[in-house]
């Protein structure tokens, strides 16, 4: 259910909200609840952070009284050190089963990958360095892509037409378009993600997305780093019809998902302040530079 700030800041309204969610879960035979609160929160907004953590704790306490094996998860931004959403991550982790790291929407203000490899790597590393247990981290990856309207192209790089907003396109729709222009497929070796450009009438477009190859690399990354698992947003972006092509698509997307192993004991090596962690962060932030982005895509 939706949650406004007034409810978040009031203990009485929070209690009512929790009871409403419990009824929804109970009546629909669900196994838990997922929090996707994306309000801006600066480091100085201590009351906001305290209230959000209290909400997750109160929800967990009430739900587990009725359903001891319920699952409580929290969606989090792809960087634990963000000053834009400076939540109490350690408190949220304490009262939830796991974080779903939203490792996508990387290029909201520029043309670029939706979920680059180094960005995903840094997302995991930032939470480990924030002392969030690896066993409470799930890497969330996109089964959709971003459609950009281009005014022109500089080599392979789309010069965005910002009067048109970025559109999200499901993987099945992306494949339908790519099948009509297969020679336009490109691979970004820096972000380890695919993209392609095309023309429709007099309009120019570019789609940045993930496919089984790019997702497989990040699945392996998550497994190697010893975190809890991986997830996707969202599964309905596939074609679930009975056609042969739809079945082939589903198989290509589900097959790369790893069979998970127990979390590795050496996951803490990623939280050090040494060369490894710094190198990951440097690669991520260097890629965020618009100038570097153009160089890498071209």
277 pLDDT more than 90: no
Q: Is 160 part of any domain?
A: no
- Is pTM beyond 0.85 here? yes
- Distance of alpha carbon 188 from alpha carbon 294, whole angstroms: 11
Q: Is 249 part of any domain?
A: yes
CATH number, residue 217: 3.20.20.80
Q: Is 167 part of any domain?
A: no
Q: Strand 167-170 relative to strand 144-154: parallel, antiparallel, unpaired? A: antiparallel
pLDDT (average), residues 160-181:
95
pLDDT value, residue 296: 26
266 pLDDT more than 80: no
Average pLDDT score, the chain:
90
pLDDT in tens, 11-63: 999 999 999 999 999 999 999 999 999 999 999 999 999 999 999 999 999 99
pLDDT in tens, 59-84: 999 999 999 999 999 999 999 999 99
Q: Is 220 part of any domain?
A: yes
Higher per-residue pLDDT: 67 or 165: 67
pLDDT in tens, 210-256: 999 999 999 999 999 999 999 999 999 999 999 999 999 999 999 99
| Residue 38 annotated to the active site | yes
Q: Is 125 part of any domain?
A: yes
- Distance of alpha carbon 227 from alpha carbon 128, whole angstroms: 9
Query: Domain of 44?
Result: 5-144+210-297
Q: Is 170 part of any domain?
A: no
Q: Is 198 part of any domain?
A: no
How many domains does the chain fold into?
1
279 pLDDT more than 90: no
Confidence of residue 162 (pLDDT cuts 50, 70, 90): confident
pLDDT (average), residues 188-208:
98
Confidence of residue 108 (pLDDT cuts 50, 70, 90): confident
- Distance of alpha carbon 217 from alpha carbon 253, whole angstroms: 13
Q: Is 189 part of any domain?
A: no
Task: Say which of 38, 58, 213, 273 is annotated catalytic.
Answer: 38
């Amino acid at each position: 259910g939706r949650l406004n700030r007034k409810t978040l800041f009031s203990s009485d309204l929070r209690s009512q909200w929790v009871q409403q969610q419990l009824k929804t879960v109970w009546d629909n035979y669900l196994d838990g609840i997922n929090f996707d609160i994306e309000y801006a929160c600066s480091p100085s907004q201590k009351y906001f952070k305290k209230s959000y953590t209290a909400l997750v704790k109160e929800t967990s306490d009430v739900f587990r009284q009725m359903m001891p094996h319920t699952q409580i998860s929290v969606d989090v931004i792809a960087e634990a050190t963000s000053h834009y959403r400076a939540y109490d991550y350690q408190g949220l982790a304490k009262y939830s089963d796991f974080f779903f790291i939203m490792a996508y929407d990387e290029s909201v203000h520029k043309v670029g990958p939706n979920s680059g490899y180094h960005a995903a790597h840094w997302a995991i590393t930032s939470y480990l360095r924030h002392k969030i247990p690896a066993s409470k981290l799930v890497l969330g990856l996109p089964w959709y892509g971003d459609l950009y309207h281009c005014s022109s192209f500089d080599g392979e790089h789309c010069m965005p037409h910002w009067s048109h907003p970025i559109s999200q396109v499901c993987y099945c729709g992306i494949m339908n378009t790519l099948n009509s222009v297969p020679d336009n497929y490109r691979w970004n070796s820096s972000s380890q993600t695919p993209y392609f450009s095309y023309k429709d009438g007099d309009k120019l477009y570019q789609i940045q997305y993930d496919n089984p190859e790019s997702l497989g690399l990040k699945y392996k990354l998550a497994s190697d780093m010893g975190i809890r698992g991986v997830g996707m947003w969202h599964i309905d972006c596939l074609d679930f019809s009975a056609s042969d092509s739809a079945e082939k698509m589903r198989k290509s997307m589900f097959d790369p998902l790893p069979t998970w192993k127990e979390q590795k004991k050496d996951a803490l090596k990623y939280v050090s302040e040494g060369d490894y962690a710094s190198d990951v962060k440097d690669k991520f932030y260097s890629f965020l530079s618009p100038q570097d982005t153009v160089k890498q895509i071209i």
